[in-house]
Amino acid sequence: MVADHENRSQPGRPAKVFKHTDSEGQHVMLSDDVAPLPNCPIFVVSLTSATARRAAFTTRAEGCGLDWQFFNAYETLLPSLDYSERDAIIHTGRPLHRRELGCYSSHFALWEKIANSDMPQAIILEDDVVIDWNFARVLLSRDMAAENVHYLKLYYMRGVPFRMLRDPFLGRNLIRFSGFAYGMQAYLLTREGAQRLVEKLRHVSRPIDDELDRDWNHGLPNLAVFPFPAFESLGPSTIGDDRYDHGAVPRDMALARLAYRIREKFNRILHSSEWRRVRR
């Protein structure tokens, strides 16, 4: 849904001015009375059957003044992806649920779309997200690739160790976290970032948010904005909790899983060269 880009901020509301630290470490003053860079859309991942969610999101987005559109979510595995149930059991202790494969496919298909386009960057949301539209406008007005930010979480689900990188960053803070923060509800991705993820994450053996948090594998730092400019509205998950209903790891895979978990932890700590300086 293409909105009027001239409607930069809420009518009658004075522009908000705030501080920002650029990639050179210089402090600058920014305003939220800005327009996004050309061809920087917002994609909202949503099942075609999720009519109530779509209606609710459309209501929340009314008057936002930004270019956003629904992206029809997949319910099965994307043909271009390679899923290994054996690897999934070794990596996660269980096979992936059909809806998890659909979720992975939906985000991967969006990455492919961005990677093969002239879009400099895009914000990806899930349809149950509430977002600060003014922050989204400011974020899309900045060239994040020039800021050396290619993947930026706008929300995550689990508190984990982090390190402050820039204070302030778009009036908030830019942090890099270590460990598994989880959540694919809201994030920004540049074209270069999308190309990297498409190259590295075609083999499926983990839920999509697990895979994204493994920055030592795909090479994009796990960056986030804090405080969050978005949050997940309360409601049932479309993936469902029945994904956790599974039996024990088969005996012939148990040793391989143990070896994997040891190796994974070692790789994560080794990758984080500044591990001991991470705030807790």
190-239 tens-digit pLDDT: 999 999 999 999 999 999 999 999 998 899 999 999 999 999 987 666 66
What pLDDT, in 10s, does the model give residues 176-189? Answer: 988 888 889 999 99
Beta strands in the chain, from DSSP E residues, in sequence order: 17-21, 27-31, 42-46, 68-72, 82-83, 121-126, 129-131, 151-153, 162-169, 172-177, 186-190, 203-204, 223-226, 230-232
Range of the domain at 247: 35-277
Is residue 18 in some structural domain? no
What pLDDT, in 10s, does the model give residues 102-158? Answer: 999 999 999 999 999 999 999 999 999 999 999 999 999 999 999 999 999 999 988
C-alpha–C-alpha distance, residues 177 and 280, integer Å: 10
Is residue 126 within 8 Å of residue 45, measured between CB atoms? yes
Cα separation values, 137 from 9, 27, 141, 188, Å: 9, 20, 6, 12
**What is the structure's pLDDT at 249?**
85
32 falls in which pLDDT band (50, 70, 90)?
Answer: confident
**What is the structure's pLDDT at 280?**
40
How many domains, in total, are found in the chain?
1
DSSP string, 258-276: HHHHHHHHHHHHHH-TTGG
C-alpha–C-alpha distance, residues 256 and 205, integer Å: 14
Q: Is the pLDDT of residue 279 over 60?
A: no
C-alpha–C-alpha distance, residues 267 and 261, integer Å: 10
Percentage of the chain beyond pLDDT 90 is 66
C-alpha–C-alpha distance, residues 82 and 100, integer Å: 14
246 or 183, greater pLDDT? 183
Average the pLDDT over 243-257 and give the result. Answer: 78
Average pLDDT of every residue of the chain:
88
Is residue 205 in some structural domain? yes
**What is the structure's pLDDT at 4?**
39
User: Counting Cβ atoms within 10 Å, is residue 146 exposed (0-12), middle (13-18) or buried (19+)?
Assistant: exposed
**What is the structure's pLDDT at 173?**
95
Percentage of the chain beyond pLDDT 70 is 87
Is residue 15 in some structural domain? no
C-alpha–C-alpha distance, residues 229 and 134, integer Å: 9
Phi, psi of 226 (to 5 degrees): -140, 135
192: CATH? 3.90.550
DSSP, collapsed to helix, strand or coil, labels residue 56 as helix
Is residue 28 in some structural domain? no
